[in-house]
Structure 1
Amino acid sequence: MKFIFSLSLILVVLSSCKDKVKPLNEDFNAICFISNGDEIEVGNEVFMNLPKIHYILFIYHDTVFQSVIKNGESIYSYLKLRNHGKDSLQAILKQYDKTSLKKQLKSMKVHNDNGINCAPAGYFLSGSNKKLNFGIFRYNDYSYWSRKYSYKEIKLESNQFPKIYQTIYHTLNSKQWDYFMSDDYYYKEIRTFRHGLFIGDTTNYGNQ
């Protein structure tokens, strides 16, 4: 019964995001970082943590915007950058246009990289000419940029924030759930656990 309830909860969360996703027909580059949300039992003392987005940064119309999400509340702002900070960030994000989630997972398999480290998990999402690209974003790229370039956060009200943000948020959430729950991707091997023990062979990345 708990398994059915938990699975229903997951499907409701995923469906609600998919329903709110609209076509992204404008150019943008976005990244997000996630943290573990509530722990749920999916059956037979097997548990998983619901992934929860807590930070989104995106470039839209030559402006860098960010949303910090804490306790269900969002703090909106744009970043006033100095010393070519936007150009540097744009260059970092553009590098991800040359890859994809499938290519990244193949590379991880070849290099026996299970992707588990102490850095926050993150994803990138880019849109251009009605095409989307989604994959894993390395936190170190963001950390390097944020340390090197200074910026000032200019707070915005929710009605001042670009409307495309809602679509970016729900698209990121939907895409990460596709990755998180897919039987084809490596994450299925580490998304569930018993207390004190991960389930699955963490060297198996699935057939990509």
Structure 2
Amino acid sequence: MSELLKFSDVQLAYQNGPIRTEVIKGISFSIKPNERVAIVGKSGSGKTSLLMLMAGLEKPSAGKIDFHSINLNELNEDQLTDFRKQHIGIVFQSFYLIPSYTALENVSLALEINFEKNAKEHAESLLLELGLQDRLHHFPSQLSGGEQQRVAIARAMINKPPLILADEPTGNLDEENSLLISNLLLQVSLQYQQSLCLVTHDLDLAKKCDRIIQIENGKLL
């Protein structure tokens, strides 16, 4: 099976005057199409930085990142923005919903930006699949944490990108909602044949994925 995403000896470092801080230290790995991968590790181990590199939100200090035939190192900021619109959906621990938009509007906006026809209908269909049929016209302040995260998942998946990245998607939720959200992420990514890469402290969630990648001090174990 071909590789969807490939890291080749990728490094990420920050320079602050004479001080150089290495965050990612020569990591190589790949993700296949329709594969679910969990990244686990202690706080400060480099998990989120790795996810930001995958999304093109950080540029590597060294090494190469390929997405199919696209070399992310060679893209400028505008090209990276277009790349994310087409290829990446991101679910954060915080929901980042637009407060003045309803659940339906938050999701359909991603389609409307790309001038997609029937944006509202497509968004409504996905929200129904996620069990939000009674919350379509509610604003984020009127939704529970679990409901807001389901809206965020719908927003990330609505364009059917080949890769979904999730950074501690259940971190702000109680146990019941954590289980619901983790199962939804896995179920919907499988249904739409999307690869899923998630950062998590939840080992029960990690074990439900096809593969677990462990990172410590910026290196894979």
Using CA pairs under 8 Å that are at least 6 residues apart, name the structure with larger relative contact order, 1 or 2: 2
**Larger relative strand fraction:** 1
* TM-score (norm: length of structure 1): 0.25
